[in-house]
């Protein structure tokens, strides 16, 4: 079935690439959505059964596949609206949708992979499709964004490869012959600590480019800024999850070894630095999309802190990722509407949004509460649990610093978003713009409601999946 | 024999540190490709022949012929001959690259591991850091790409060290090479260099906060 899924998605993307007809284009996209959702359901009922040797849907995979399938539907819907309101050249549209299909398929394959080298290959492929999306507008600035993204991701992927090479040295010494996660997990105790440490450093640093953590978060910000907002929604959610999954799988492998505590320290430092850097940039950022990008860096930093603190923090970290993957796309979709009215992403140019688009302004207002993790946002629960785990693990200094930093973040996000909603803009937008229909914001309300619901009252299936995913980690 | 080739490879890294003309970068990269061909041939002779042919073709066709040819084409088309003054003088470059090599040497001496073939490790690490050094100190976009290619060469050396036991990893390394060369170089370096007439990285500063 996984083979069928990969093959059919591949065929759909090729057809999309060559097709010039609008109707056929959207029919193919709908077909892909059905395949994607159908496959996720199939994977849920066939957990832990390997197919094609290299793919096994385990609990973490199912969670992220589910998130991806849910996020992809509004993404396609908003892409449709995007092309209705922007230049709609058949060949560019074809490349855009083909790239999204390839991106989603390679992401799914990277989630599914049970072999570290296969994960690596598919992560590399996500870079390719992502750059096609960033370059969509084909002007000088998107070219710059694409170039930076490609270059940084190439270096990061090289670092991961070096890490895998070191890991293979360690594996050979412990008598292993291949690089399946399961085999690595079983052999981990006998591996040479030095090589394992080196390998962790390289793989971790490499995946930070995708996960949006310090030190390689930069490229991701440019990518989210320069791509069309529906694509930015994908970059800010499911693409970051793939970086997390790369880190998490390796973190699981070193669970039984003696370097586990050392790795926790590295992750704590990275998490703290990520939140710190995000705060610094959020204080001065003037571009709404980049602001959302830095907010993602903050949330990924919190996820790392939760994971490293252990205990309830691990559960909270994964819950936080899920909720973040729904909340961030909402804001990106909304910024698409803002851009249509003001023709600008700068916070200076946007204002009095209630007057121009009531339903959209409500999304921004609710979205603000959700992404800053204020009740009733579901992220309040996950963030609260992360803080509790930091407290319980004795990282009080880090906790205090994080409190300070998140307060500053709430202040700076609030300052910008409230300005956009309530204060009059410097330049009054054109009165002749076609008003945005409230129905276009419906998908955003649904996603926000989902964040609240999943955080406050997660269904038992989800809780079981999360608990299964973290069960292999040492207590 | 492997040792001689690898040491020559390391010397070529020092040469890269002082090269200012882009032509000499390209020649050095092609030369490194040939050295890697030799190393791969000696090291991997035991793996199955199909795989070996693949690896050898990649080093000769890709690293030694195709990439240098293409780089030549780009610099001729855009009439660039040299990297404008690097951020650091040449003398400092030599000293720093020597330190990089010495550093990798001492680092690998601290590892007590009978399985490890230290010379591969030293050469790979030196190439990796030299590549990073070139990227951070040069101004032209095209030189950055060349720095990246040096890193790739280093990674290739490292993958040869484990290649006998796990040929799959060598192949994946080659995949990385091809990915980087075709995509990074072929499509974007070409486009970026065309678009940004001066080709300096200072022009890539539109995106910031």
**ipTM of the complex model:** 0.92
Mutate to test the interface with A, among B141, B176, B199 (most CBs of A within 10 A): B176
Asked if pLDDT for residue A196 goes beyond 90, the answer is yes
Mutate to test the interface with B, among A54, A127, A168 (most CBs of B within 10 A): A168
- Measure A84 CA to nearest chain B CA, in Å: 27
User: A140–B168: do the CB atoms touch at under 8 Å?
Assistant: no
User: B162–A164: do the CB atoms touch at under 8 Å?
Assistant: no
Model-wide pTM > 0.90: yes
What is d(CA A28, CA A5) in angstroms, rounded to the nearest whole number?
A: 14
Q: What is the pLDDT of residues A400-453, one digit of tens each?
A: 999 999 999 999 999 999 999 999 888 777 777 778 899 999 999 999 999 999
Q: What is the pLDDT of residues B50-75, one digit of tens each?
A: 888 888 888 888 889 988 888 888 88
Mutate to test the interface with B, among A145, A158, A164, A215 (most CBs of B within 10 A): A158
- Measure A178 CA to nearest chain B CA, in Å: 8
| Chain B CA closest to residue A173 | B115
Q: What is the pLDDT of residues A358-417, one digit of tens each?
A: 999 999 999 999 999 998 899 999 999 999 999 999 999 999 999 999 999 999 999 999
Of residues B155, B175, B195, nearest to A121 (C-beta): B175
- Measure A134 CA to nearest chain B CA, in Å: 13
For CA atoms B95, B97, B101, B107, the dihedral sign is positive
**Percent of chain A residues past pLDDT 90, beyond the cut:** 80
Q: Does A117 touch chain B (CB under 8 A)?
A: yes
Q: Does B157 touch chain A (CB under 8 A)?
A: no
Average pLDDT, integer, range A310-328: 96
| Chain B CA closest to residue A146 | B188
Residue B141 has what pLDDT?
80
User: B115–A169: do the CB atoms touch at under 8 Å?
Assistant: yes
Query: 3-state SS string over chain B?
Result: CHHHHHHHHHHHHHHHHHCCEHHHHHHHHHHHHHHHHHHHHHHCCCCCHHHHHHHHHHHHHHHHHHHHHHHHHHHHHHCCCECCCCCCCHHHHHHHHHHHHHHHHHHHHCCCCCCCCHHHHHHHHHHHHHHHHHHHHCCEHHHHHHHHHHHHHHHHHHHHHHHCCCHHHHHHHHHHHHHHHHHHHHHHHHHHHHHCCCCEHHHCCCCCC
């Amino acid at each position: 079935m996984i083979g069928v899924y990969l093959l059919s998605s591949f065929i759909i993307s090729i057809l999309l690439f060559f097709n010039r007809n609008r109707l056929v284009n959207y029919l193919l996209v709908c077909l892909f959505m059905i395949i994607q959702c159908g496959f996720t359901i199939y994977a849920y009922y066939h957990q832990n059964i390997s197919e094609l040797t290299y793919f096994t849907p385990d609990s973490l995979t199912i969670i992220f596949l589910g998130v991806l399938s849910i996020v992809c539907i509004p993404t396609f819907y908003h892409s449709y609206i995007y092309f209705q309101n922007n230049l709609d050249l058949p060949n560019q549209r074809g490349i855009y949708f083909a790239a999204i299909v390839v991106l989603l398929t390679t992401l799914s394959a990277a989630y599914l992979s049970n072999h570290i080298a296969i994960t690596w290959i598919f992560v590399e492929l996500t870079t390719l499709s992502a750059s096609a999306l960033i370059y969509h507008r084909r002007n000088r600035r998107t070219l710059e964004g694409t170039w930076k993204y490609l270059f940084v991701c190439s270096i990061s992927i090289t670092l991961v490869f070096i890490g895998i090479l070191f890991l293979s040295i360690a594996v050979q010494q412990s008598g292993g012959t291949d690089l399946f996660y399961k085999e690595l997990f079983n052999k981990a105790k006998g591996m040479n600590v030095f090589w394992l440490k080196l390998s962790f450093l390289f793989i971790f640093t490499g995946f930070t480019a995708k996960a949006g953590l310090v030190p390689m978060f930069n490229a991701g910000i440019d990518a989210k800024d320069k791509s069309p907002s529906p694509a930015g929604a994908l970059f800010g959610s499911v693409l970051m999850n793939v970086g997390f999954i790369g880190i998490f799988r390796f973190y699981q492998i070193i669970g039984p070894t003696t370097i586990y505590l050392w790795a926790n320290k590295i992750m704590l430092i990275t998490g703290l630095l990520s939140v710190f850097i995000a705060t610094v940039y959020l204080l001065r950022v003037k571009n709404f999309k980049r602001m959302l990008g830095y907010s993602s860096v903050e949330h990924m930093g919190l996820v790392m802190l939760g994971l490293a603190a252990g205990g309830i923090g691990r559960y909270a970290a994964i819950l936080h990722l899920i909720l973040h993957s729904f909340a961030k796309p909402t804001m990106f979709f909304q910024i698409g509407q803002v851009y249509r009215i003001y023709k600008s992403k700068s916070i200076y140019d946007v204002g009095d949004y209630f007057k121009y688009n009531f339903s959209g302004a409500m999304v921004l207002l609710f979205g603000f509460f959700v992404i800053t993790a204020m009740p009733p946002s579901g992220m309040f629960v996950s963030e609260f649990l992360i803080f509790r785990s930091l407290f319980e693990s004795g990282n009080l200094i880090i906790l205090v610093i994080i409190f300070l930093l998140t307060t500053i973040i709430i202040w700076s996000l609030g300052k910008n978003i409230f300005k956009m909603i309530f204060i009059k803009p410097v330049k009054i937008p054109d009165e002749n713009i076609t008003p945005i229909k409230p129905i276009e914001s419906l998908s955003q309300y649904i996603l926000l409601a989902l964040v609240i619901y999943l955080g406050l009252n997660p269904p038992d299936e989800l809780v079981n999946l999360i608990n299964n995913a973290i069960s292999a980690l040492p207590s | 024999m492997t040792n001689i080739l690898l040491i020559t490879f390391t010397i070529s890294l020092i040469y890269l540190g002082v090269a200012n003309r882009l032509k000499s970068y390209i020649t050095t990269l092609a030369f490194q490709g040939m050295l890697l061909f030799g190393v791969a041939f000696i090291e991997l002779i035991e793996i199955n022949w199909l795989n070996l042919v693949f690896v050898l073709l990649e080093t000769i066709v890709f690293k030694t012929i195709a990439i240098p040819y293409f780089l030549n084409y780009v610099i001729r088309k855009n009439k660039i001959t040299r990297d404008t003054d690097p951020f650091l003088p040449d003398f400092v470059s030599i000293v720093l690259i020597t330190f990089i090599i010495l550093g990798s040497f001492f680092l690998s001496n601290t590892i007590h591991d009978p399985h490890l073939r230290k010379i591969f490790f030293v050469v790979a690490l030196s190439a990796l850091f030299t590549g990073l050094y070139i990227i951070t100190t040069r101004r032209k976009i095209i030189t950055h790409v060349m720095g990246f290619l040096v890193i790739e060469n280093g990674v290739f050396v490292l993958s040869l060290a484990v290649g006998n036991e796990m040929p799959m990893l060598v192949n994946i390394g080659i995949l990385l090479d091809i990915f980087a060369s075709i995509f990074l170089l072929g499509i974007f370096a070409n486009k970026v260099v065309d678009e940004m007439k001066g080709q300096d990285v200072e022009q890539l500063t539109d995106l910031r906060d």
